[in-house]
Each structure stands twice: as structure tokens, then as C-alpha cells.
Structure 1
Amino acid sequence: MFTHFFIDRPILSSVISILILLGGAVAMWVAPISQYPELAPPQVSIDARYPGATAEVIASTVAAPIEAQINGVDNLLYFNSVSSSSGNVTISVVFKPGSDPDINQVNVQNRVSQALPLVPQVVSQQGVTVEKKSSSIMMVLSIFSPDDRYDSTYIDNYANLYVLEELKRVPGANRASVFGLPDIAMRIWLRPDRMAQLGISVQEVANAIQSQNQTFGIGQIGAQPTPAGVQQTFVVTAQGLLTKPEEFENIIVRAAQQGTAIVRVRDIGRAELAKRDYSIASRMNGRTATTIGIYQQPGANAVETARAVRARMEELKRQFPTGLDYKVTLDTSLFTLNSIDKVVHTFFEAVVLVIAVVFLFLQSLRATVIPILAVPVSIVGTFVGMHLLGFSVNMLTMFGLILAIGLVVDDAIVVVENVETNMAKHGLPALEAAKRAMTEIAGALISIVLVLVSVFLPVAFLGGVTGTLYQQFAVTIAISVVISGVMALTLSPALAAIIIRAHHGERRGFFRWFEATFARLTDGYVGGVARLVRGWPLALAAFGAVIAGILILFRVLPGSFVPDEDQGYFCVVVEAPDTASQSYVSALGEKAEKILAAEPAVQDVAFVNGFSL
């Protein structure tokens, strides 16, 4: 029999187990950590801007042409768009789970390129961005001025120039973005009364700025073909794009005509270097701040990514100008880390309890060692399968490993019990007893593994989000059970042939008392079963009552997708009337901030006006 091959070669059996253990250790070291498996399907976000347009105009002239082009893209599930009166439109494109996010982004980008000729020219000039969208935010940090030295324009611009790009380069960070539009622009403030007196329209001003704020290739002096004797060539340069408010104010809107003077921008308004958009503003604990959201890359280690972000921010902080600081207001990795730590503690507690129970019933340190060795090999080796399948270390996989602790020792216990039984009944030495035992139970061990795998593995084929969520839980248990079966057929009998010794004499002390007590409990259980057999109608009635109770409780108890957990933060959405101004919403937000900040348990309050999570 093939098990005899491993019994006669204990070194080979040990090497197999060591290789499984080492492979699992390496896989465990590089495994990504997250709270739950990646549930949300891949998404691509399309963002465009149409300054001055209403939501209805944006929806019909920008969103509609783009939606018509992206409809039918490969692996598309659905898409939706949100147009706002601030001139912004966001189209979220959702794809089938399991599709490649990079390929999805390229496909959408190609479709958007086809739609650009169909949208207003100003939208194309502003730029249409296409990027992968993360399912959830990993971290939120706020950059602020503790002494209110800097205004929101300065903080937004500093964050956009010196912080955002650095955070995007952090390994594991998929995206970092400011809640709002941090870009700085040259704003032209016009005086309608002066324009009316001079008969100048807004379009004339826009055309003048566009025509006089360009870069041109002037040419060269001395370029070929040249007369003989020319020994040098000079590149002619001229002022290109304007950069200062004074330069924009000097733009000629209308040239001098008969009886009229030159009209410049400064004659009908003024230029100011300021924020491109004021529709979104943020505060942190009542102070003006720039709020940055950081999104985790799919498959990345959330804990390591959060640590890397904090380390990079500490490096950037040393370069901050005086009077500027930052604070992390939300870090979801902390809850993930605490949850995983608690699960790990539970894991080790379960290991200790399993060791105690096994030793209590086997009553031999030598015999206890064999099933206990199956625990680390089976559990750690499971990480190899998790790595190959792309699983992460999350709440569900860890719960699966905890449940598997009690299952992986069963096969080894069966081996040890049968070896000891053959030694006691037939007086065989350990080697012969191990071979005889494996001849008797090898088929049963394989059946045990197949039965357990058949119980959990079908969960992996469930569809939808529920199947995605519990797939890793079930497959993790199945992998550990398969590895424990391999250990029971290779390592456990080989160790039993070497380690186990025959028992001589009766049990003494605690074990004698335990066996006597357990024997009485067994006798009582057997007697109870006999009475139930004799009174089988009552037993069936009790069984029916239990089933009915289960059905009633199943209907009464509330249900949820995942258990509700206190993650240390919550979001409050403040809705204002459709016609409410930003000042009104800001004042409403200040009231909400004060109410929340008055609570002793509240540490930080971050408020974003004009943006919804």
C-alpha cells in the first residue's frame, strides 16, 4: 500500500511536510491584508467639466454623447452619471466581477476619445479624465493651518503641487485625490456696467484672451538656406502663455478705432490668480483645510499601505512651510489591523485548547505530538493555496482557519488511535502496528477528506456578491482539510512508527479520575439513548419541536449581509434645498460640526461642503 512507502521513509515524509510549511510561511509573509475580500466589481470613472453650464445642459451635451459611445463596451454591467450645477459631470462605469480593471480603463478611454468631437469644445479643452475607481476609501487626511496663516487657496495649491503626486507614488495606493478641485486658475472678474457702456460682450473677452494667450513657434535667424558667410544661427523666442494677473489685465479686448481708445481687460474688470472652482470646500475641526482621500489598490496590503502613507507624510511634513500641518482623520486600516489581531489571538487560543483536549484524551505526550504537528503544517500550508488563488488575509479567511483547527487534527487522531489499538490488541511493534493501521483506515481517511471538502467546496460556486464574500471562507477550510489528509497519510503514520510506545499498567492520578468520570458520563449517555429509543414517539416529537423552533427563529431574527461592527467612524450627510447657496450649506455644516464636536467621544470632525461620499 502507498502509505507503507512513507512509513518506511520517515525522512521523505518529514521533507514533504517541511516544504509545505516553508511554502506556507513565504506565502503568509507576502499575503495582502484587508478587512474583507474585494467585493465591488471593477469600476471606471469619467470626469468632465463644463464651466457655467447647468446640470441639464451638461447632461444633454456632455454626458449623453459619452454614454452613447461607452454603451456596449466589453464586460459592461451598467453605468450612471451625475451632473451638477457647478459644471461637473461624473460617469461611473461598472464592469463584470473578475474582469481586468486595466483593460476596462483602456476600452473606456478609447470610447471616450470617439465621443470628444461630439461634446462642446470647451469641455475638450478642459480635459476629460478616465481612471480606475476604487471601491472604498482607505484613508482620509487633512492639511490645515493651525494658526490660520494660510487660506484655502494656498493650502489647496500646496497640496496639489507637493503632496498629491507623492501620495500617488506610495506602493499600494491606487489613487489620491482632493475632495474638490484644487487647481489654481486665472479668474477674470468682469464689470457688467462698463461692458454695457462700451458694448463689449463676454464672448469678445473670451476670444481676446484665447487669441492672445498662446504659444507660437517664431523661427530662427540664420537658418538654412542662408547667404554665404553666415556663421551663427539663433532661435527666436517670444513671450508665450501669460502667467501673471497684470499680463492678463493688459490683454487688448478691442483695438483703437476712429474716435475710440484701446480697451483692455483692466478697463472692464480685473484678473486674479485663485481657485478654479469654489463649489467644494472643506474644514477639519472648524479650521479651513484641504481634505485628501487615499484609495487602496486592489490586492494591496491595506496595513502596509497605510503605514507607507503615514511615513511619506512625515517626510513631507518636514518640508511644509511654517504654519502648515496635517492630520489623519480616517484610517480604516486600524480597524482591519485590530480585527486581524483579535482573530490571531483567537487562533492561538484555539490551538492551545486543541492541544489540551488532545492530550487529555490521548494521555500521552508522545501520542499528542503527532496530531499537534498536523496543526501548523495544515494551517500554514493553507497560505500556499490562498496565494495561488489570489486570496487575502481577511476576516473570513482567518475565521476559516480557526474553524479548520478542530478539523485538521481529526485525521491524525484517527491514525494514532488505530496504531495504539493494534499495539495493545495484537502486541505488534510500532512499525508493524502503523502499517496494519494504515491498511485498515487509509480508505476511511480519504473518505473523511472528501466528505469535508464536499461540504465546503460548493460554497465557492455560489454566484453574486454573497458567493464572492464566502468563497474564500469555504475554500480556505477545504484547502486545510486536504493538507491535513496528506499529513495523515504521510507524516502521521511515519511518526507513529517512531514515537509511539506501548502502554504498561493502569492510569494513575488525574487521568485515572478522568477516565472514571468520562466512563460514568458515557454510561449515562448510553442509558439516555436507550430510553429515547424505547420512547421514540416522544423523541420524534422533540425533534420536530426543535426544527419548528429553528424555522421560527430564522424568520424572527434580523438578517444582514455582514455583521454590524463599530469601526470607529461614521458619515453624516447634510442635505439642503436645491436652491441653497454654498454659504447656507456651510453655515449648516458648521452647526453640525459643533454638535458633533461637543460629544466627548468624538476625536475629529472633517466637513466637506459640496461633496458626498
Structure 2
Amino acid sequence: MLSRYFIDRPIFAWVIAIGIMLAGIGAMLSLPIAQYPDIAPPGVGISATYPGASAETVETSVTQVIEQQLTGIDGLMYFSSSSSATGQSRITVTFQKGTDPDTAQVQVQNKVQQALSRLPSAVQQQGLSVTKQQTDFLMLVGLYDETDTATQADIADYLVNNFQDPIARIDGIGATQIFGSQYAMRIWLDPYKLAAVKLMPSDVQSAISAQNVEVSAGQIGADPAPVGQQINATVTARARLQTPDQFRKIIVKTQTDGSIVHLSDVARVELGNESYTTSARLNGHPASGIALQLAPGADALKTAEMVKAKVAELSSNLPHGYKVVYPRDTTPFIKLSVEEVIQTLLEAVALVVVVMFIFLQSWRATLVPAVAVPVVLLGTFGVLALFGYSINTLTLFGMVLSIGLLVDDAIVVVENVERIMEEEGLSPRDATIKSMEEIGSALVGIALVLSAVLLPMAFFGGSTGVIYRQFSITIVSSMLLSVVVALILSPALCATLLKGSDEEKRHKGWAGKFNRWFERMTDGYVRRTGKVMHRRKLFWGLYVVVLALLVLLFVRLPSSFLPVEDQGQVMVQVTLPAGAKSSRTSAAIDQVQNYFLNDEKDNVAFAFIMTGFSFQGQGENVGQGFINLAPWDDRKGIVNTAGSIAGRATKQLAAIRDAKVLAMTPPAIRGLGQSNGFTFELLNSGGLSRDRFLELRNQLIAAASKDPMLAGVRAATLEDTPQLKVNVDAEKLAVLGLTQANVDDVLSSAWGSTYVNDFVDRGRVKRVYMQADAPYRALPTDLDNWMVRSSSTGEMVPFSAFATTQWTMGPSTVSRFNGLSSFEIQGQAGDGASSGDAMDRMVELQKQLPAGTSYAWSGLSYQEQISGGQAPLLYALSVLVVFLCLAALYESWSIPLAVLFVIPLGLIGAVVAVWGRGLENNIFFQVGLLTTMGLAAKNAILIVEFAEMAHKQGKNALEAALEAAKLRFRPILMTSLAFIAGVIPLATATGAGAQSRVAIGTAVVGGMTTATLLAIFYVPLFFLTIARLFGSDKPHGAPPATTPDAGVPA
């Protein structure tokens, strides 16, 4: 026997235990720390720019061309795209979890290369980027001037020049986005001056390209050289221009009279912004920021630490008044939530030790299971390292749940040894040997059953499978290590630490009072168990009622993917009417900033706001705010949580005229959406016109806005905006000797923004842009100021001679999903409803629309949909594997039923507890259910194992069941109370990340409570019923007997 070997060699047992702990310590010090494992599926982003193009032009000329090539890519889950009126095309390709991000990027890059030749030349000139990325921001590095002397453009240029590239090169950063822009050389054209010298924008562009170049002039005396050559030197000639004065002197034309036309004669030249789309402020000061996206698979905490170290290094020489802040930083919440779980873990250990001491009443006996805690926990860290996992809230949750489990095995060992010592008067060594012969198989059986319950989780795929695996591997490895300790170290400790039973001590003081009370309770328990088996039909009927109640409550539980956490951040989205200028947006978002800095000043650390950007899209009529809240300890009470603050802000800021303001909290899992709530994709699967498709979208949003199960339902893209359409008469072009190419060139150069080439500014290469000066592109009539040169006459022809204009409405952003035109709709569950209820309701409303549309889910909602379908299969698979393990253990198809019947008795407690606290059926609840299933089965096994042994020794089924119930009553209560005590800190958690702890803790505490209180009565009944049903009630070699306690004939 394995235990006997180590009973005789206790030092060897200690060596093994110490080796496990040392391996665990080494692993613990090297494991990365994260809030969650890498749950979000990997993504690859494609970005392209078509300057001056409308959203529809970008969609048809760029986005669709690229999308058509996205076929035959391994692991592709879905892709989405947006084409904006700012000329931006962004495609996000999302892959199945487990896909190698590097391989995915290479495959996408190859597909983009196939489409490159079909893209407009302006797009190719700007360049395309293909990057590994996630869809949200890890953090936002902000820079502001507290003296208010610098402009937003000055700060943005400094940030780009000095911060962006060093930060972008940090390992773990997938992509960066600057809120603002660096300087650029701006050539502002004057149409009247151009016409006076018969020039078009293309002539100016050609002149700049020809004269702003670097010449490779070669060398003097380079080989092969004449014999005797004595000198070798590099020849330098023209270099790129560097200052506005140098650009002003560019010669754009030489007149017939010999006079020279310089660039300054037809344009205004200045050092301006590369882009004027966004501006930012922090607490009222001019600011700029760099948003950082985490690369797939990167360690968030480690990457953030490297970013902050690099920023600290770069900040050593900041200009006077410049300050660095982090308006959005997810890492404090990650650190604090992990610290809270670690504190819960320590509290659980302390409570478990206290419970063990109360029952064992001896520090020597308590030391045996207490020693198992560090050995198993540290050993579990070693297993996590082998699987490449991290220290995160999920693995730590698994360890908290494991504490009660891992001491169970050692408690069973020491309790049984003490019982044998007391009843049979054996020495500690002999009692330990006999005890291990009795319970060794039960310990293995418990380990098999718990592993069978939890191990199937490890084989589920997708992001949900990642969460399940963290729990599965952690708890199963803890259980297996616990059994190893219980079979190797615990017997050795019992044989060497325990002393003979001290009857006098057991009957004195608090221990004596406790033991006398517990003996009376045990006698009462046995009598009541006898009555239960005497009234078998009644209690089987009650069991059926419990099953019905379980089903009824379970189907009525609201569902969600993950609980909503207070992450210390609030995001604000501001939208003004289509066509609104940035000045109006700036005025509105200033009111948003003032609200948070004044009305919520006790809850807000600082507010970073910007115009021209939002998660809806880019445009002058949108804005976005990142509100960094005060520390959690300074925001006590539910009214000061992030969710409450966001809710109040949305209501109060609704009073801002002409602005729609929505405050929201970040998503539960970084990388799965931009905010909490659902993400619904309405697809144009019927080839509807855009106007009809838009009409149906508005119809759906209107219906959803009236539904009490839904809240905050909104379009995730910007509304259509006024557009000025230029209609060119092709026949007039031909008559006037004009070409369509020249007309298009004048339009795009004047009203758009043409990238010419590069220049050097303080040692850094920057861009040169050419565009009409602001007064000549302010009104529709300004189009007539622009002229095109006739190729036949050489005269300048105004646009009024061949073109007309008209106002239309067009999209500012065109979205697509999986190759179909789409509208993304976001929202949250209404009061009293769950995210699952909200998702179901959205599907119902979509099905009520006329034909031509379909739907899909993305982001967190996509994962929630998958997880909802996996849960029933997971439960069924776990029960099946448990049954097969028990059948193999007992060599019986019937006895395992006595164990399986107890599982609903645990589930009812979990469901009632969660329902009673108003919680939801989410992944943490599902893990809690599976844990409860294993624990309920464990208690049943302790009784069934001893009942089966007694039955084989000659007792009938009734006697065997009652004897087993009496013998195992104390260890079952002790192990169950120890486990419940260990999990109570989860169920009562507060602070960062509390909702997740509460979700799993409530389910397990409720489930374990009923699994203990009901199972101790029902397991003997199940054993007796199965024995009689399958004809194994007769004793082996003994006549029928009567049990006086129960008053029931055998």
C-alpha cells in the first residue's frame, strides 16, 4: 500500500512535499499576472486612407476591394469594416481563439497585397497598414500644458515627435492612435491667383515634387578610378526643404516675359497640422494623447509597466508646464482586483483552519490538514506554469474554491485515524494504517469524481473555453495534488504527530460542551434519517418537487456572459446633429467636462475629452470623453459606483441642447467591444437600397427604445450628413477641351487634401499637404472660383461652365459585416432584465421587420451566445463522466445512481441563492454549479463508500446506510463547513472585481449548504432504494436484523 510505504518513511514524504513547494515557489515568481487570461480572440486590423473621398467612395473603391480578397484564411471567425467621410477605411478581421496571431497577420497581409494593384493610386501613395491588434485601448498616454501657453497642435506635435515611436516599439503594443497630429507643411491655394497665371493645383504639385527632392549625386574619385587617383569624396547637392520660407521660394512657373511665379505668389505657406480632425483637453487644459492597443497574447500588466517606464524616461526633458497623465489605464483595476482575490484567498485559509480546529480540537490534528494547504497551493502554481497560464482572477478563484477541497482529503484522513484510535485503542501508527485501508479508495474516488466534473470544461473551445479551462486545470490539479498529499504526507504526519485519545480533555471545557452537543445532534440525525427511510414515498415525492423547483427557477434566471464590474472608468460619447461644426461639438463637450469636474468632483480624478473622434466614428459632430474616477476606497456605496455615475451623467447631460450624450462603462473583458452591453449587427442580406435599409434600422431602434427590457439602444455609427454633390456635364467638357482627369484633380486638390511629398522638420521627416485656403472652400458657391485649363485653348474655364451642384444626404460612415452592408446597434438590458434577455428581445424585434434583413452578434455578445449554447452540453457531459467513473470505481451500474441523485440537491441551493440575491446565470455561476455538482457527489461518496463496505461485511442495506451515515456525519459536516467558510469571503466580497467573486461565491455557498443539509438525509435513502430496486438488499451471510434506532424492520 502506498500510504504504508510513507508511514514507515516520513522524511521521504516530507522531501516530496518540500520539492513540490519549491517548484511552486519558483513557478509563482515567474508567472505573469493579469486580470483575465487572453480571452479576446486575436484580431488583425487593416487601415487605408483615401484623402478627400466620401464614405461611399471609400467603401466601393477601397474597403470592398480588400474584403473580396479575405477568403481562404485559416481560423477566420468574422470581419467588420467601416468607411468614413474622412477618407479612412478600417477593416478588423477577427479569428478563432487559438489562432496564431503572427500567422493570421501574414495571411491577411498576403490577401491585402493581392488587392493592392486595384486600389486608387492616392491610397497606394498613403500606404496600407496591417497590424495585430485588439479593438479597445489598453491605456491612453496623455500630455497637457498646465500653463495653457501651448496650443493643442504644439502638444500633439511634441507627443508624436518624442513619444509615439519609442512607445510603439515596446514589446506588447499592437497599434497606436494619436489624438491630434504632428506638424505638416501646409500649402493653402488661392484660386484667383492661380487663374491669373493660368495654373491648376496639379501644376503646383508638380513644381513642389520637382524642387523638394533629395539628390543622390554620387562621389568624386569612386572606383573604378584613374591610376593615381588621390581623393575620394561624397558629392552633395539639393536636399529636402525644411522651412516655410524655402517652400515659398519654389518656382511654379516662368512667364513668357521672363518673370518668375513663386509658390508664395499663388498660395499661403505655413507650418500647420497634418490633420485637423481632432482636438483634446484635460481638465480644461490643452492636451493630446496616444491610445495604445495591446497586441494579441501580450501581457497587459507587463506591457503597461514597460510603457510607464519608457514614458518616465522620455518625460525627463519635458518643456515647462507639460505634464503626463494616463486618462485611461486598465492596469490599476487589474492589480487591485488580483490583490483583492489574494486577500480573499488568505481569509479563506484562516477560516478553514479555524473550522478544522473547532472540530478536531487539537493543534496536532489541525496541523495535518493545515500543512496540506501550502503544499497543494504552491504545487498548483507549478502546474499553472507547465500549462503556460498566468496568475489571474480565474486561477485565483479556482484556488479559493480548492482550499476547502484540498483540506477535505486530509481532514478525512485525520478524522478517521482519531476515530479508530478512540474506538479501538490503537496506536497512531496502527490506526493510520487501518484508516488508510478503509478510506484510500474513497479518496481516489472523490478525486476521480471531482476531476470528472471539472475536466470536461478544459476541452471547450473559443473564448468561453479559455475561461472554463482556467478553473478546470486549477481545481483539478489542486484536487489531484490534494489526494497525493493525503496518501503520502498526511498519513506520515498522523503516524508521527498524533497522540492517543485524551478522553478527559475531550469532555472538559469548550471542547467537552461542543462534543456533547454534537453527539446529541448525531443521535438526532440518525433517528431522523431512519424516519426518512421509513417514509420513503413522501421524501421521494419531495425530491421530485425539488427537481421541479430547480427547473422552474433555473429557466427563469436572467442570463449574461460576465458580471459588470466597476473598473474605475467612465466613457462618454457625444453626438451632435449631422453637419455640425467642431466648434459646436467643442461647446457641448465642454459642458460634459464641467459636469464631471463640478457635479461629480468627489468621484472624478480627471476628465480627458476630445472632439472629432468617438467609438461611433470620426467627424466634426462627435466627441469622446474618458473620465478617470477616484480610487474605489474613496467611492463607497452603490451610488458612487462607475455604473451609477454613468447612469446619472446620461440623465443630467440629456439637457444639453442639440447633443446626444451617453455615458457608459468599459466592457467586462478587454478586447470584446468598446463598452458594456450588447453589440447587434443588422445585416442587409436582401440587397435593399441604403434608404430602405436605413428606414428598417430606424424602425428597429424605435421599437427597441420603447421596450422595457432594453435601454440605451442606439446606432453605433454616425447618422447621414448633408453632402454637396457636383454634377459634371461630360458633353460640355468635350466642347470646352477639358478632361475629366483634370476636373477630378482640381476638385480633390482644392476641396480635399492632397499629400505631395515630405520635408524635414528639426530632423524628423514630415508631410507636405496642398489644399484650398479656408475662405475658398467655405460655401457651395466657392466652387465657381476654381478653374480648369482647357487643353485646346489654354484658357481657364470656371466650374460654372460645365458643372452644377445640389444638396443630398449621404453616410458619414458606411459599415459592413462579413461582406454585407450592416448597421451596428448597441444597447444595454433594461431594469430587471439581463443581457441574455436583451439579446433575445432584439432577435424577436428583428424578426418582426419586413424581409430583407438578417442579424449577427459580435464582440462580447458573440461570446455570450456561444457560452449559452455550451452550458447544457457541459452539464450533461460532466454528469455522464461522473457516472462512468463511479461505475468503474464500484464495479456496478446501480450504485453510482445513489451518488448522482444527490446532485440536484446541491444545484437547488445554488440556483435559489443566486436568484435570491438578484444575480445572473453567467459563466461564474456555471462554474459554481459544476463545483457544487462535484462537492455534492463527494459527500455522497463518503456515505456510499462506507455503506457499501458495511453491506459487504454482512449488514443489510438499511443497517449499512444508517451506520455509514452515523460514521460520516462528523467528517461531512466538518469538511462542508470548512469549504463553506473558505468560500464565504467570495460571496461577501466588495471593492474592485467584487461582482465576479460574489457571483461564484454565492452559487457555491448556496449549493454546498443544501448539498450538505439535504444530502445527509437523502444519500442513505438513495442507497437503500437502489439496493432494493436492483435486488442487492440481502445481507451477505447474515440474517435480517432490526434497527432499534429507526424502528424500521430490515
What is the TM-score with the length of structure 2 in the denominator?
0.56
Aligned-pair CA distance for 1:289:
0.9
Distance 2:607 2:528 in 1: 62
Alignment CA distance shift 1:86-1:495 (3 Å): same
Which 5+ residue runs of structure 2 have no aligned equivalent?
616-1050
Q: Helix, strand or coil for the counterpart of 1:81? A: strand
Residue 181 (structure 2) aligns with: 182
Distance 1:227 1:335 in 2: 72
Residue 77 (structure 1) aligns with: 77
Residue 502 (structure 2) aligns with: 504
Aligned-pair CA distance for 1:553:
3.2
Residue identity matched to 2:562: V
Report whether the alignment pairs 1:588 with 2:588: yes
Distance 1:326 1:448 in 2: 56
Aligned-pair CA distance for 1:362:
1.6
Deviations 1:458-490 (A, max 9, x none): 122234332222321222111100110111111
Residue 513 (structure 2) aligns with: 513
Distance 1:215 1:560 in 2: 61
Deviations 1:472-527 (A, max 9, x none): 12221111001101111111112222112211333111111001111222233334
- The question of whether the paired residues in 1 share the 8 Å contact of 2:589 and 2:609 is answered with yes
Work out which of the residue numbers 393, 401, 418 in structure 2 matches 1:420. Answer: 418
Alignment CA distance shift 1:394-1:136 (3 Å): farther
- The question of whether the paired residues in 2 share the 8 Å contact of 1:48 and 1:126 is answered with yes
Distance 2:234 2:301 in 1: 54
Alignment CA distance shift 1:255-1:446 (3 Å): same
- The question of whether the paired residues in 2 share the 8 Å contact of 1:456 and 1:478 is answered with yes
Aligned-pair CA distance for 1:209:
1.8
Distance 2:503 2:441 in 1: 33
Q: Helix, strand or coil for the counterpart of 1:574? A: strand
Deviations 1:391-446 (A, max 9, x none): 22222221111111100011112222333344344443333333332233222211
- The question of whether the paired residues in 2 share the 8 Å contact of 1:299 and 1:392 is answered with no
Alignment CA distance shift 1:157-1:399 (3 Å): same
Residue identity matched to 2:410: A
Residue identity matched to 2:607: V
Report whether the alignment pairs 1:3 with 2:3: yes
Q: Helix, strand or coil for the counterpart of 1:288? A: strand
Residue identity matched to 1:611: F
Report whether the alignment pairs 1:211 with 2:217: no
Alignment of 1:250-265 (within 5 A): 250-256=249-255, 258-259=256-257, 261-265=259-263
Residue 357 (structure 2) aligns with: 359
Q: Helix, strand or coil for the counterpart of 2:68? A: helix
Work out which of the residue numbers 474, 487, 490 in structure 1 matches 2:488. Answer: 490
Alignment CA distance shift 1:503-1:492 (3 Å): same
Distance 1:583 1:200 in 2: 34
Residue 564 (structure 1) aligns with: 564
Distance 2:118 2:350 in 1: 68
Deviations 1:84-112 (A, max 9, x none): 11122211111121111122222222332
Distance 1:298 1:20 in 2: 33
Aligned-pair CA distance for 1:44:
1.0
Aligned-pair CA distance for 1:260:
6.2
- The question of whether the paired residues in 1 share the 8 Å contact of 2:158 and 2:182 is answered with no
Residue identity matched to 1:33: I
Which 5+ residue runs of structure 1 have no aligned equivalent?
none
Residue identity matched to 1:187: R
Work out which of the residue numbers 330, 333, 337 in structure 2 matches 1:332. Answer: 330
The number of aligned residues is 611
- The question of whether the paired residues in 2 share the 8 Å contact of 1:164 and 1:176 is answered with no
Q: Helix, strand or coil for the counterpart of 2:606? A: coil
Residue 109 (structure 1) aligns with: 109
Alignment of 1:341-352 (within 5 A): 341-352=339-350
Aligned-pair CA distance for 1:607:
1.4
Residue identity matched to 2:184: A
Distance 2:208 2:456 in 1: 66
Distance 1:275 1:584 in 2: 21
Q: Helix, strand or coil for the counterpart of 2:605? A: coil
Residue identity matched to 1:376: P
Residue 154 (structure 1) aligns with: 154
Residue identity matched to 2:353: I
Alignment CA distance shift 1:73-1:243 (3 Å): farther
Aligned-pair CA distance for 1:193:
1.5
Report whether the alignment pairs 1:396 with 2:394: yes
Residue 54 (structure 1) aligns with: 54
Q: Helix, strand or coil for the counterpart of 1:419? A: helix
Alignment of 1:241-280 (within 5 A): 241-256=240-255, 258-259=256-257, 261-280=259-278
Distance 2:278 2:403 in 1: 52
Alignment CA distance shift 1:590-1:395 (3 Å): same
With 402-411 and 126-135 compared, the bigger mean Cα shift is at 126-135
With 390-399 and 150-159 compared, the bigger mean Cα shift is at 390-399
Aligned-pair CA distance for 1:246:
1.8
Alignment CA distance shift 1:329-1:101 (3 Å): same
Residue identity matched to 1:351: V
Distance 1:481 1:460 in 2: 15
Q: Helix, strand or coil for the counterpart of 1:69? A: coil
Aligned-pair CA distance for 1:23:
1.4
Alignment CA distance shift 1:483-1:124 (3 Å): same
Aligned-pair CA distance for 1:360:
1.5
Deviations 1:193-238 (A, max 9, x none): 2112222111222222222222222233334555555422332211
Residue identity matched to 2:388: G
Distance 1:608 1:222 in 2: 58
Q: Helix, strand or coil for the counterpart of 1:604? A: strand
Deviations 1:347-402 (A, max 9, x none): 11111111111111122221211111111111121111212222222222211111
Distance 1:315 1:481 in 2: 47
Aligned-pair CA distance for 1:555:
3.9
Alignment of 1:532-571 (within 5 A): 532-571=532-571
Deviations 1:576-610 (A, max 9, x none): 33333333322332222223333232222111322
Aligned-pair CA distance for 1:155:
0.9
Alignment CA distance shift 1:379-1:299 (3 Å): farther
Residue identity matched to 1:196: A
Residue identity matched to 2:351: L
Distance 2:175 2:79 in 1: 23
Structure with greater strand percent: 2
What is the TM-score with the length of structure 1 in the denominator?
0.93
Distance 2:38 2:483 in 1: 30
Aligned-pair CA distance for 1:133:
0.4
Report whether the alignment pairs 1:608 with 2:606: no
Q: Helix, strand or coil for the counterpart of 1:118? A: coil
Distance 2:295 2:363 in 1: 48
Distance 1:110 1:212 in 2: 36
Aligned-pair CA distance for 1:138:
2.5
Q: Helix, strand or coil for the counterpart of 2:405? A: helix
> Which structure is richer in relative contact order (CA contacts within 8 A, separation 6 or more)?
1
Alignment CA distance shift 1:430-1:519 (3 Å): closer
- The question of whether the paired residues in 2 share the 8 Å contact of 1:45 and 1:130 is answered with yes
Residue 315 (structure 1) aligns with: 313
With 333-342 and 430-439 compared, the bigger mean Cα shift is at 430-439
Distance 2:183 2:132 in 1: 24
Distance 2:309 2:401 in 1: 36
Residue 410 (structure 1) aligns with: 408
Distance 1:347 1:602 in 2: 31
Deviations 1:305-357 (A, max 9, x none): 44443344333322101121122222222122222222122111111111111
Aligned-pair CA distance for 1:285:
1.7
- The question of whether the paired residues in 1 share the 8 Å contact of 2:13 and 2:489 is answered with yes
Work out which of the residue numbers 465, 468, 476 in structure 1 matches 2:466. Answer: 468
Distance 1:301 1:79 in 2: 25
Distance 2:584 2:154 in 1: 24
- The question of whether the paired residues in 2 share the 8 Å contact of 1:303 and 1:334 is answered with no
Deviations 1:36-68 (A, max 9, x none): 222211011111222222222222222223223
Distance 2:530 2:497 in 1: 40
Q: Helix, strand or coil for the counterpart of 1:39? A: coil
Report whether the alignment pairs 1:25 with 2:34: no
